[in-house]
């Protein structure tokens, strides 16, 4: 009798965990879809400014943000763009504080992304969707942190020709490589879009960023 009750209790716990996982995946669908869209829009925008005579292939974006709060971040968002034949076409770095861009094309020519309103829109959306993923997966992390600066670093990769998985892979973990600092790891992979991010918190004296 006790064994059957234990089995029922275990099954209920397993069912609840499964339901929570499904809900969380559903909640992440919007920010991850929007993040992929913003990154692709940034690639298209870079393509137009650099050289419009090629078809976009795979591309990657490096994210490195250090923020007092979600409205005030420094660091960079850096995209490297390749053509379908795997030639590097352009690279652009956007500043999330000044919203300025520094880019270079395949010939070594420097250029800028000229539409300041679009720069602001893309940077804000990339930043906000990244933070939103952490709010969903680690809801207490941003609310109850004990250090003022959050540092997010990671990368995103888009493979336009790959199919989208029916069931995206999501990996989260809390790592403590130094023993006294927590690193919150978030990985999302739907086949066409892959992102891996790590967030931790810093004290003011650890960096003179502000």
- Containing 174, the helix (H) or strand (E) segment is strand 169-175
Q: Supply the pTM of this predicted model.
A: 0.82
Q: Whole-angstrom Cα distance, residue 32 to residue 38?
A: 10
Q: What is the 3-state secondary structure (H, E, C) of 75-125?
A: EEEEEEEEECCCCEEEEEEECCCCCCEEEEECCCCEECCCCHHHHHHHHHH
Instruction: Answer yes or no: are the C-beta atoms of 185 and 173 closer than 8 Å.
Output: yes
Contact 122, 96 (CB under 8 A): no
Is 80 exceeded by the pLDDT of residue 36? Answer: yes
pLDDT at 208: 46
> Is pLDDT larger for residue 53 or for residue 77?
77
- Average pLDDT estimate for 90-104: 93
pLDDT, average across residues 122-129: 92
Q: What is the pLDDT of residue 53?
A: 76
Strand partners, 184: 174, 199
Q: Does the pLDDT of residue 210 top 70, yes or no?
A: no
């Amino acid at each position: 009798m006790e064994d059957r009750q234990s089995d029922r209790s275990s099954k209920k716990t397993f069912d609840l965990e499964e339901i929570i996982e499904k809900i969380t995946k559903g909640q992440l669908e919007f920010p991850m879809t929007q993040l992929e869209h913003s990154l692709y829009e940034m690639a298209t925008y870079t393509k137009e400014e650099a050289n419009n005579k090629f078809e976009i292939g795979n591309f990657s974006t490096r994210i490195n943000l250090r923020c007092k709060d979600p409205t005030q971040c420094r660091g960079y968002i850096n995209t490297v763009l390749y053509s379908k034949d795997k030639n590097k076409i352009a690279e652009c770095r956007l500043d999330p504080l000044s919203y300025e861009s520094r880019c270079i094309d395949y010939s070594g020519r420097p250029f800028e992304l000229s539409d300041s309103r679009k720069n602001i829109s893309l940077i804000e959306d990339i930043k906000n969707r990244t933070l939103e993923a952490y709010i969903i997966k680690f809801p207490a992390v941003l609310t109850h942190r004990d250090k003022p600066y959050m540092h997010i670093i990671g990368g995103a990769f888009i493979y336009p020709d790959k199919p989208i998985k029916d069931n995206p892979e999501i990996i989260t973990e809390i790592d403590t490589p130094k023993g006294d600092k927590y690193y919150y790891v978030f990985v999302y992979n739907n086949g066409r879009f892959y992102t891996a991010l790590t967030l931790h918190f810093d004290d003011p004296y650890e960096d003179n960023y502000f």
